[in-house]
Amino acid sequence: MSVPPIKPMFMSDRHVEMMNTILATDYSSKTECGRLDRSYWMCYELMQGEHTVLWSVEFSPRHGVRFSLEPPVGAEPDVLFRGDYRAVVEATRLGKEGKDSPLPITTHGDPGVMAIIGPAFAAARRAATIPSEFPTD
In a domain, 43, yes or no: yes
Phi, psi (degrees; rounded to nearest 5) at 26: -80, 115
The string of pLDDT tens digits covering residues 78-127 is 999 888 877 777 777 777 677 777 667 888 999 999 999 999 999 998 99
Whole-number average pLDDT of the chain: 84
Angle at 18 between CA 96 and CA 9, to 5 degrees: 60
pLDDT at 123: 95
In a domain, 1, yes or no: no
Give the structural domain span for 82: 13-126
In a domain, 3, yes or no: no
Check if the beta carbon of residue 79 is closer than 8 Å to that of residue 105: no
In a domain, 30, yes or no: yes
In a domain, 7, yes or no: no
pLDDT (mean) for 54-73:
93
Alpha-carbon distance of 75 to 77, in angstroms, equals 6
In a domain, 120, yes or no: yes
Structurally, the chain folds into a number of domains equal to: 1
Q: What is the CATH number of the domain that holds 55?
A: 3.30.1050.10
Q: What percent of the chain is predicted at pLDDT more than 70?
A: 83
